[in-house]
Chain A
Amino acid sequence: RKEVEQDPGPFNVPEGATVAFNCTYSNSASQSFFWYRQDCRKEPKLLMSVYSSGNEDGRFTAQLNRASQYISLLIRDSKLSDSATYLCVVNWGLNYGGSQGNLIFGKGTKLSVKP
């Protein structure tokens, strides 16, 4: 069964706080990992890819733990504009001539940053 699990939240944090989200996936063969952000009634937008060694983009840090099959996202110095739903996304194997196959989305973790 294809599963990507996230805590739905909501996480209610004050501006400036540090907040962390975790995500677990069930397919040990998955090779591509992403965090997407989705605002209410909008399309998902790529926040960052997640690489094996971990990666950082400004206030955002993503980590991958293949052994435990989980991914994390850390947001430092939260801004009001960070309020959104954060979707953990994992590919589900290879398909058709090297295509990375389908992406499976978690249901998302809702973040609300308050003044």
Chain B
Amino acid sequence: DAMVIQNPRYQVTQFGKPVTLSCSQTLNHNVMYWYQQKSSQAPKLLFHYYDKDFNNEADTPDNFQSRRPNTSFCFLDIRSPGLGDAAMYLCATSKPTGYSNQPQHFGDGTRLSIL
């Protein structure tokens, strides 16, 4: 059973047209993450939520926003997608522990294309 679910799997949008990607989880994890991964590159963290606390990475463009209305759902909003935003977007969740190895669990990803 899928535990971190991303929708849609593939998203095509037009240059400059706002787009929202969604992520839901059945793991009841406190922490949810959004990553951007381009071809042959490592996943790059955009931001994460610890419960309702939002943590933005310093180099995440303002064009990227996120919402977490409840524990189970988290959204990635791209306000004005540019060609450089075409990538795989990965959602992940984890438990919040400071001293033990707590891995992140990834959804299947949404592959975003910009026309």
Contact = CB atoms under 8 A, between A and B. Distances in A.
Interface of A: 4, 31-34, 41-46, 49-51, 87, 94-100, 102-108
B98 to A, nearest CB: 4
Contacts of A34: 101, 103
A105 B92 CA distance: 13
14 contacts: A31-B99, A43-B108, A44-B106, A87-B43, A95-B50, A96-B96, A97-B96, A99-B31, A99-B50, A100-B98, A100-B99, A100-B102, A102-B45, A102-B57
A100 B42 contact: no
A96 B108 CA distance: 27
A41 B111 contact: yes
B103 A46 contact: yes
Interface of B is mostly: loop
Interface string B71-89: 0000000000000000010
Contacts of A43: 90, 106-109
Contacts of B94: 100
B53 A96 contact: yes
Nearest to B108: A43
Contacts of B57: 102
Contact of B96 (A4, A32, A45, A100): A100
